[in-house]
Structure 1
Amino acid sequence: MQFQVPAVLALAALAAAAPHPAANNAIDANELPAIMARQSATSDELKNGACKEVTFIFARGSTESGNMGSIVGPQTCTALKTILGSDKVACQGVGSPYAATLADNFLPKNTSPTAIGAASTLFNLAHTKCPDTKVVTGGYSQGTAVVDNSIQEIDAAVVAQIKGVVLFGFTRNLQDGGRIPGYPTDQTKVFCATGDLVCSGTLTITPAHLTYGADASAAAQFLASKV
C-alpha cells in the first residue's frame, strides 16, 4: 500500500469559508491531527452504563481524538438513537489501548494487534455484561480495519450477537473484496465516497475521505433495520 499526502488542503465542512478542494487531491499528513481533533466525542455507555436493547460499538479513524472521533462516529450514534430511541441505545467507542496512530496503517492488517484487541475486548464485554443486547458496530478509516479484523478473530458466539456492521472509508475494501471475511454480507454496508482512494487499495488521503458524516443517517437506518 501507498501513503501519499503531498498537498496541504482544508476540508470545507470544517472550515466553511474555504473553497471546496478537489476530491482527488491529497491532504498533508501534518494537517490530519488538527482536522480530526475538532468536535471529537467520547462515549463509554457500555462500559459505564446500564445494558440497553442495542449497543453500538465504533472504532474511530487515524489521529481522531476521543474514542468516537469526529467525522462520523458521533453522528451515527446520534442518528441511531433518534431512530430507535435514546433509552434503547448505548454507544461505545473503541478507546485505549487503541491509539489510532497513522503508522499502524502500514502494518499487515492495516492496524495493530493492540487495536484489534481493544475492539475484541468490547465485543466480549457486550457479550458477557449484556447477553441480551443486540450489537451493531462500525468503523471509519483505520477503524474499519480494527472492526474487520476483530470480527474475524472473536468467538463465533460473540460474532452471532453482532447484527450489523457499517464501514466508512474501508481501508481493506480492495483486499477483502468489499466485505468482512466470514461475516454475512447482508449484515454489512460499506460506504466509499467518490474520490476516496483508500477504498481502492492505497492509503492516499483525499478530502473525500473526510465526508462520511453525510452518510451517518443512512448508516443508522441500515443498522436499525438489522435489529
Structure 2
Amino acid sequence: MNAIPRWVVLSGLTTSFYLSLISPASAAIIQSRDPAVSANDWDPVLNGDSGAGCADLAVIFARGTFDDGNIGPWVGSLFHDALVSHSSGIKIAMQGVSASDYPADLAGYVKEGGSNSCAKSLGSAVQKYNSHCPNSKVAIWGWSQGALCAHKSLSELGNAADSVIALGVFGDPVGIWQDTVNYPAIPSNTKLLSYCEQTTPDPLCTSVTEDFPSNPIEFINRLVAIWKQVDSTHMNDSQKAALTSLITELPKQAKSQISQLGKDIVSGHLRRWMLTPEHFWYGNDGTVKTAVGDLISVYQSKK
C-alpha cells in the first residue's frame, strides 16, 4: 500500500468548529481536555465530586496500541468530536480509560489478547460512574487493542452491567484471538456495534489480501516499510505526530517481543501482528460518524 485510499475523508475541522456544533445541553457537561488525545468528562465523578453532574449518555473509550493520551489521535478523538457534534439535546460525557492503568503497549496486546489492566480500569470506572449516576446510559467503546479491552471489561462491571446499552468496536481483532482467549459473552441488554474496514481490508478483522514474510525480522521490516510509504498529506497534525512515533515504536516494541512473534508465526497467529495502515482509518473515513448515528439510535430505543 503506497498511499491512503482515495475514499478516505480526513477531518480537517478545528476544535473551535466542533465546539460551535455542540448543543447547549451537551456543552454544559463537557470538561476541558486535550482534544488531540484525551477526553476527561467523567473526571468529576471519578474524582469523587459530590456535586458532579450526570450525562444522559456516558461513553468510555479504550484507545489502540501505540495511542497517546487516553483516547488517542487516530480514532478516539475523532469519534469524540463526531459524538458531541451529532447529539443535539443529549447530554454527553466521554472518558478515556486511564493511561496510568493502561499503557496501550504492544506487550498487552500480543501477550494478553488485550490488556487485563485496561479491562479492570474500564470496569471500575463504569461502576463508579453508575453508582453516582444510576440513570445514565453507558456505552463502552474501543479500537484495536482497546476493542479487546472493551470485550474483557464486560466481566468487570458488577451491578453496573445493566446500565451498559452498547459495546462499540472499531477494527475488532476478537475473531483472531478467540481460540486462545475466553472473552465474556455480550449481555442481552447490550447492543454490539462493530465496524471493520473491508473495502481496503483491515487484516485484524477481515481477510488478508497481502502476503507477509514468515521470518520475524523480515515481517517487522515489511510493516515498517509499509508505514514509511503512507501518504500523510491529509492527516491532521496529531496524526502526523503519531505516525512519526509509530514508525519508531512499532519495530522497537515488536523486536522486544520477537520470541512471541516467532511463536505466533509457528502457531498460525501471524494475523494478530498485522498492524497495517488500513487498521488506522476508522477516525478518518466517515466510520465514526456512522457509529455515532448507530449509537444514538440505540440510546433513543432505550429511553
TM-score, length-scaled by structure 1: 0.76
Q: 2:202 aligns with which of 196, 200, 209?
A: 196
Please state which structure has a larger fraction of its residues in helix: 2
Confirm or deny: 8 A CA contact 2:87 2:296 kept in the other structure: yes
Q: Deviations over 1:167-205 (max 9, x none)?
A: 01112134459x962334971111111221111552311
| Rounded Cα–Cα distance in structure 1 between residues aligned with 2:93 and 2:111 | 31
| Rounded Cα–Cα distance in structure 1 between residues aligned with 2:89 and 2:106 | 33
Q: Where do 5+ consecutive residues of structure 2 fail to align? A: 11-34, 45-51, 207-270
Judging changes above 3 Å, is the alpha-carbon distance between structure 1 residues 181 and 43 closer, same or farther for their aligned structure 2 residues? Answer: same
- Residues 61-100 of structure 1: matches in 2 within 5 Å? 61-85=64-88, 88-95=91-98, 96-100=100-104
Confirm or deny: 8 A CA contact 1:169 1:193 kept in the other structure: yes
Indicate the residue corresponding to 2:288 in structure 1. 216
Deviation at 1:40, TM superposition (A): 3.2
Corresponding residue SS for 2:129? helix
Confirm or deny: 8 A CA contact 1:63 1:101 kept in the other structure: yes
Q: Percent identity?
A: 25
Say whether 1:183 aligns with 2:187: yes
Judging changes above 3 Å, is the alpha-carbon distance between structure 1 residues 222 and 180 closer, same or farther for their aligned structure 2 residues? Answer: farther
Indicate the residue corresponding to 1:146 in structure 2. 149
Confirm or deny: 8 A CA contact 2:164 2:190 kept in the other structure: no
Corresponding residue SS for 1:212? coil
Corresponding residue SS for 2:154? helix
Indicate the residue corresponding to 1:41 in structure 2. 37
Say whether 1:135 aligns with 2:207: no
Confirm or deny: 8 A CA contact 1:56 1:77 kept in the other structure: no
Higher Rg: 2
| Rounded Cα–Cα distance in structure 2 between residues aligned with 1:189 and 1:164 | 7
Confirm or deny: 8 A CA contact 1:197 1:203 kept in the other structure: no
Deviation at 1:65, TM superposition (A): 0.5
| Rounded Cα–Cα distance in structure 2 between residues aligned with 1:87 and 1:220 | 12
Confirm or deny: 8 A CA contact 1:40 1:64 kept in the other structure: no
Indicate the residue corresponding to 1:170 in structure 2. 172
Q: Where do 5+ consecutive residues of structure 1 fail to align? A: 1-6, 16-38
Judging changes above 3 Å, is the alpha-carbon distance between structure 1 residues 107 and 10 closer, same or farther for their aligned structure 2 residues? Answer: farther
Indicate the residue corresponding to 1:226 in structure 2. 298
Indicate the residue corresponding to 2:49 in structure 1. none
| Rounded Cα–Cα distance in structure 2 between residues aligned with 1:43 and 1:202 | 28
Bigger mean CA deviation after superposition, 193-202 or 122-131 = 193-202
Indicate the residue corresponding to 1:207 in structure 2. 277
Indicate the residue corresponding to 1:103 in structure 2. 107
Q: Which amino acid aligns with 1:74?
A: S
Indicate the residue corresponding to 1:160 in structure 2. 162
Paired residues, what number? 195
Say whether 1:54 aligns with 2:57: yes
| Rounded Cα–Cα distance in structure 1 between residues aligned with 2:136 and 2:41 | 13
Corresponding residue SS for 1:127? helix
Corresponding residue SS for 2:272? coil
TM-score, length-scaled by structure 2: 0.58
| Rounded Cα–Cα distance in structure 2 between residues aligned with 1:144 and 1:46 | 20
Bigger mean CA deviation after superposition, 124-133 or 75-84 = 75-84
Corresponding residue SS for 1:149? helix
Judging changes above 3 Å, is the alpha-carbon distance between structure 1 residues 70 and 145 closer, same or farther for their aligned structure 2 residues? Answer: same
